[in-house]
Structure 1
Amino acid sequence: MGSIIILVALFAIMYFLMIRPQRKRAAERAAMLRAADIGDEIATVGGVIGKIVAVEEPGEVVCIEVDSDVELRVQRRAIGEIITSAGSGGADDPPASDGVDESE
């Protein structure tokens, strides 16, 4: 009876220390890949940095612009991170006003 309790406890420890965090990271990555859209600046897993300019019809291939007139087609799963999101106030957006009038 004691050995069964030890096995169950060992499995519970493995679940909470290994399996559960891995599933959480996989779900976060899947959500990040689904959220990548036109206008987002991304970095691929290979280290290429560019801005998404088009998403091909099936949605599994995106075109990124890495320089003026240079576009690359990459699979969506090759996106490593979203550097700036088009809707989250990236570097191209004007700074937010803090209510202070600087003209005085």
Structure 2
Amino acid sequence: MFVTPAYAQAAGSAGAAGAFAQFIPLILIFAIMYFLMIRPQQKRAKLHREMVAALKKGDQVITQGGIIGKVSTVRDDEVEVEVATGVKVRVVRASITQVLNPTAPVAANS
């Protein structure tokens, strides 16, 4: 019943430090998830965007459906892929998963 004000203040400050200590594991879990899952996925997506942006005529590509062909025409958001002689398929640019044989730029004769 006769609690001094100093004891009452000490108990309140220990509770605030304890509340912060409860958030430390949550912060650590988020940091681990960021470096193990989110960051590598963003890096992979960036590489895919760069690969799709660099597509040009003559590249041999694989689509998400497993079709292997050679790029014959590149448009804004679609690519025309020649699967066999005279057989061309229009494919959305984002569905290209891999470039097998990129064509090298023609070197200047000197």
Q: Within the alignment, does 1:84 sit opposite 2:101 as a pair? A: yes
Is the radius of gyration larger for structure 1 or structure 2? 2
Deviation at 1:6, TM superposition (A): 1.3
What letter corresponds to residue 36 of structure 2 in structure 1?
L
Q: Which residue of 2 aligns with 1:74?
A: 91
Deviation at 1:11, TM superposition (A): 1.0
Q: Which residue of 1 aligns with 2:45?
A: 26
TM-score (norm 1): 0.77
Identity across matched positions, percent: 42
Unaligned runs of 5+ residues in structure 2 are: 1-19, 106-110
Deviating beyond 3 angstroms after TM superposition, the runs of 4 or more aligned structure 1 residues are none
Aligned pair count?
86
Output aligned runs, 1:42-81, within 5 Å: 42-56=61-75, 59-81=76-98
Deviation at 1:7, TM superposition (A): 1.3
Unaligned runs of 5+ residues in structure 1 are: 89-104
8 Å contact from structure 2 (residues 55, 74) kept in 1: no
Q: Which residue of 2 aligns with 1:97?
A: none
For 2:48, what is the secondary structure of its paired residue?
Answer: helix
Deviation at 1:74, TM superposition (A): 0.7
Give the RMSD, CA atoms, in angstroms.
1.2
TM-score (norm 2): 0.73
8 Å contact from structure 2 (residues 78, 91) kept in 1: yes
Q: Within the alignment, does 1:37 sit opposite 2:56 as a pair? A: yes
